[in-house]
Structure 1
Amino acid sequence: MLVEENRICNSGKKDAPFFAWPWENFGNYKYLLYGPLIAKVLYSMAGEGNKEDTWCLHILILFVLRSLVHQLCSTYSNLLFLNRTRRLNQQGINFNQIDAEWHWDNFLILQAIVSSFSYLCFPSLANLPIWDMRGTVCCLILHMGISEPLYYWMHRLLHSNILFTRYHWLHHSSKVPHPFTAGHATFLEHLLLCIIVGIPSLGTAFLGYGSISMMYSYVLGFDFLRCFGHSNVEVIPHSLFEAIPLLKYLIYTPTYHSLHHVDPRTNFCLFMPLYDLLWKTINANSWDLHKKICTKTSDRVPDFVFLAHVVDVMSAMHAPFVFRSFSSIPFGIKPFLFPMWPYTVLVMLIMWAKSKTFLFSFYNLRGRLHQTWVVPRFGFQYFLPFAAEGINNHIEDAILTADKIGVKVISLAALNKNEGLNGGGTLFTSKHPNLKVRVVHGNTLTAAVILKEIPQDVDEVFLTGATSKLGRAIALYLAQQGVKVLMLTQSTERFIKIQKEAPVDRQKFLVQVTKYQAAKNCKTWIIGKWMTPREQSWAPSGTHLHQFVVPPIIPFRRDCTYGKLAAMKLPEDVEGLGSCEYTMERGVVHACHAGGVVHLLEGWEHNEVGAINVDQIDVVWDAALRHGLKPLQI
């Protein structure tokens, strides 16, 4: 039975009656269905409507509050740095599940429509008092005595072969429980859920004990408990059940509900395991697993850590614990981000004052756990001289923590390996020569990606940022290939030092230039330093500008083409990846991140810090391709 239900989840039917939502093809235009309610509220506020029309306002307020409940629960579920040791399913949520649950809030629209018809059919509902204690007691009795057992048997019925293959498989297709999974079901199932919710709330009103506060508290409490059960994070201490044994039959836990998704033949209850006890469907492992989760003090040690940093205030809102759907697409500045800017700044100030490096996201590759840790510092801070020591302390603390817990490789992102900050990581390996964790800047693969993008028939390139780590490696590699490199630098001393590193018969291919005008006839530019529009104007029409500058340059020239930052696509067998790395597409990571992955998969024992070993560029590139990483722009 369990194997069969898992198979159905992967190939369920979608053509059953009442499977799809009536507004499924509307996309985000579905929110226009709230238009009549909004219009009626505005009409009433203008003094033209009746006072009884306030019920429309209550429905709209409830929609906002219910959405907020789900969002806050989603945020907590994704705060990995707070709850990683209490997670039930250790697998990450992938893009497929996020896309499937994208319109999780369809049921809120449905219940708003049903509520509207209820008020229209029973106008007395619009005249409820604000508070009535008797209504709260009555609502609880109706819920416990009618809604709970009714839901139990409806749920068991949905697990029958006929209904599961046509409807309920969709809910179980979500492999990792999440608060949004609570709303991920078919139209028919949510019609049935309207009955479950309506019996206590409307029933109490019809009995004469209804109140506005009861309506709000019951509906919001109902949503919270559903999100709570699907949160994938255990929060109820087992000691509470040991002190009050009866309590474990009166309120379910995320652990209890998660077992229903593991073994769908058990734990059918809504919120009260009492009914599973009465009808003998409690999973035998429910309490043992709950105790095990509650007493666990550590989580699985990652094999690889990518140490990232926040770019700016706007990009900070691209974190999975802010908006899961937004983080699953490449970052871009959206209008809805602006109202949140002040709150993000406040969080930023708290992070500066208190926070240490925190766990951001994770995925699995070849059975190895890869995590992203974030240094709580914003991009502009890396260019403040007085902030350098504090940033290095954060990076050093992250490296020592990784070493202590047994991480094999830690890769430094963009500014965390800045040459002027810590010498590309050499500061840490010199200070701690006995580190077991391998520190990697990943620039060798970054150089390889940039070089492999250059067409083989190119015989001349123009290079800015020519004396940086990447610039030096690119120049020396191209010189060895017989490509003339116009190196833009004002420092003759640094140029000569790099030129002498090339073989004697190849030094002639490295040419120092001091002005952009020198490249006015060169159509291959490699940009490692920020450029103004005036500087870009010297590029001849048809030029392609490769780049490794952070942040990337703004494409001012319409008659030129611009490359993106060096990146690679992760292998197809990656699991649990559900967020995009800044502006990268799904499944794509910056080349320095990919370089750390390759370092781990190859099992290399050396630290990749400081200057790039030019002889290793092709070695690292071949290793990346061998392990299934793919270039994007060749």
Structure 2
Amino acid sequence: MRRQYKSQRHHTSINNIIEAAILEADEKGVRVMSLGLMNNREELNGYGEMYVQKHPKLKIRIVDGSIMAAAVVVNSIPKGTTEVVFSGNLTKVASAVVFALCLKGVKVVVLREEEHRKLIKSGVVENLVLSTSNNHYSPTVWLVEDGIRKEEQMKAKEGTIFIPFSQFPPNKLREDCFYHSTPAMLVPKSTQNIDSCENWLGRRVMSAWRIGGIVHALEGWEEHDCGNTCNFFRLHTIWEAALRHDFQPLLLPPSHL
């Protein structure tokens, strides 16, 4: 399935299916639709912006879930952390996380020059550092995606916590390190008939991209929350809203609290 989403020749048929579902839901009076995983990829539909532009009179609100995912990542970082390593492609979630951390005064060490250049171009300057080391890195908190390279993982210090910002988990290559969950939260205790949202998540754990749509509906927010633009300052708002509706963060191991 992931291969089909990555294949350019399948994009039109996939988008047609998503668009039909949106229009059907809109006709039935559904207020919010969360795109969930894979259906919100930038290269597929611009994080859902395609549908909003094509159908400007939609009453249904489209949510790609990126802000919720970014909020979960930021709040998964152990308190007191002053420096993190960033490795991966600069997705909407990754950009929001890096921007938020830099604003908080956390130094972000970027491993790849291309991503560092993109961040500088987007206006992130303070607390952003391009790595110049080929050896091990001192920060023990790494923000990573599922495609993190083996040689990059091997440069992490013993005891490092890898915190994914991607929809899928990275390969766990280090037995002396800890791998946190992909962006997700525990569902409210009042929620019934919930097993696991994805096959790599635990029971009663839901992906942040899906939670974003639920919170959007519960809060009654009227705007779309999708597309390439990202309101970095909403991370705190949506995080507090999720907690208010009894979604709970996943705990870190005691050594990283």
Fold in common (TM above 0.5)? yes
1:392 aligns with 2:15: yes
Measured in 2, the distance between the counterparts of 1:556 and 1:488 equals 18
2:146–2:169 Cα contact (<8 Å) kept: no
Q: Secondary structure at the match of 1:521?
A: coil
Tell me the residue number matched to 1:594. Answer: 211
Q: Secondary structure at the match of 2:113?
A: coil
Q: What residue identity is the alignment partner of 1:508? A: E
Tell me the residue number matched to 2:162. Answer: 545
Measured in 2, the distance between the counterparts of 1:511 and 1:493 equals 10
1:466–1:488 Cα contact (<8 Å) kept: no
Tell me the residue number matched to 1:420. Answer: 43
Tell me the residue number matched to 1:497. Answer: 121
2:87–2:148 Cα contact (<8 Å) kept: no
Measured in 2, the distance between the counterparts of 1:497 and 1:529 equals 25
1:433 aligns with 2:56: yes
Q: Would the alpha carbon gap of residues 424 and 519 (structure 1) be closer, same or farther in structure 2, given more than 3 Å must change? A: farther
Post-superposition Cα deviations, 1:35-86, rounded to whole Å, max 9, x if no partner, equal xxxxxxxxxxxxxxxxxxxxxxxxxxxxxxxxxxxxxxxxxxxxxxxxxxxx
Tell me the residue number matched to 1:446. Answer: 69
**Which residue of the other structure, out of 520, 542, 555, is the alignment partner of 2:172?**
555
Q: Would the alpha carbon gap of residues 519 and 525 (structure 1) be closer, same or farther in structure 2, given more than 3 Å must change? A: farther
Q: Would the alpha carbon gap of residues 436 and 533 (structure 1) be closer, same or farther in structure 2, given more than 3 Å must change? A: same
Q: What residue identity is the alignment partner of 2:14? A: I
Q: What residue identity is the alignment partner of 2:175? A: R
Larger Rg: 1
Tell me the residue number matched to 1:410. Answer: 33
Q: What residue identity is the alignment partner of 1:633? A: L
Tell me the residue number matched to 2:238. Answer: 620
Deviates most, 546-555 or 620-629: 546-555
1:471–1:528 Cα contact (<8 Å) kept: no
* Percent identity of equivalent pairs: 35
Measured in 1, the distance between the counterparts of 2:117 and 2:150 equals 29
Measured in 2, the distance between the counterparts of 1:516 and 1:444 equals 31
Measured in 2, the distance between the counterparts of 1:518 and 1:427 equals 43
Post-superposition Cα deviations, 1:533-559, rounded to whole Å, max 9, x if no partner, equal 322111111111000234311111111
Q: Would the alpha carbon gap of residues 460 and 545 (structure 1) be closer, same or farther in structure 2, given more than 3 Å must change? A: same
1:516–1:538 Cα contact (<8 Å) kept: no
The CA deviation at 1:518 is 6.7
Task: Report how many aligned residue pairs link the two structures.
Answer: 249
1:480 aligns with 2:121: no
1:516–1:535 Cα contact (<8 Å) kept: no
Q: What residue identity is the alignment partner of 1:585? A: G
1:632 aligns with 2:250: yes
1:466–1:472 Cα contact (<8 Å) kept: no
Tell me the residue number matched to 1:582. Answer: 198
Q: Secondary structure at the match of 2:38?
A: helix
Post-superposition Cα deviations, 1:22-46, rounded to whole Å, max 9, x if no partner, equal xxxxxxxxxxxxxxxxxxxxxxxxx
1:526 aligns with 2:149: no
**Which residue of the other structure, out of 605, 608, 614, is the alignment partner of 2:225?**
608
Post-superposition Cα deviations, 1:132-156, rounded to whole Å, max 9, x if no partner, equal xxxxxxxxxxxxxxxxxxxxxxxxx
Q: Would the alpha carbon gap of residues 440 and 565 (structure 1) be closer, same or farther in structure 2, given more than 3 Å must change? A: same
Measured in 2, the distance between the counterparts of 1:518 and 1:379 equals 33
> What RMSD in Å do the two structures reach over aligned CA positions?
1.8
Q: What residue identity is the alignment partner of 1:605? A: E
Post-superposition Cα deviations, 1:360-415, rounded to whole Å, max 9, x if no partner, equal xxxxxxxxxxxxxxxxxx22101111111111111111111111111111001121
Measured in 1, the distance between the counterparts of 2:148 and 2:88 equals 11
Q: Would the alpha carbon gap of residues 558 and 527 (structure 1) be closer, same or farther in structure 2, given more than 3 Å must change? A: same
Stretches of structure 1 lacking an aligned partner (at least 5 in a row):
1-377
Q: Would the alpha carbon gap of residues 424 and 488 (structure 1) be closer, same or farther in structure 2, given more than 3 Å must change? A: farther
The CA deviation at 1:631 is 0.9
Q: Secondary structure at the match of 2:185?
A: strand
1:466–1:487 Cα contact (<8 Å) kept: no
The CA deviation at 1:523 is 1.1
Measured in 1, the distance between the counterparts of 2:101 and 2:89 equals 12
1:383 aligns with 2:6: yes
The CA deviation at 1:570 is 1.6
1:464–1:529 Cα contact (<8 Å) kept: no
Tell me the residue number matched to 2:130. Answer: 512
The CA deviation at 1:528 is 2.4
Relative contact order (alpha carbons < 8 A, sep ≥ 6): 1 or 2 greater? 2
Q: Would the alpha carbon gap of residues 519 and 596 (structure 1) be closer, same or farther in structure 2, given more than 3 Å must change? A: farther
Tell me the residue number matched to 1:63. Answer: none
2:136–2:155 Cα contact (<8 Å) kept: yes
Q: What residue identity is the alignment partner of 1:405? A: K
Q: What residue identity is the alignment partner of 2:149? A: T
2:146–2:171 Cα contact (<8 Å) kept: no
Tell me the residue number matched to 1:463. Answer: 86
| Higher helix fraction (1 or 2) | 1
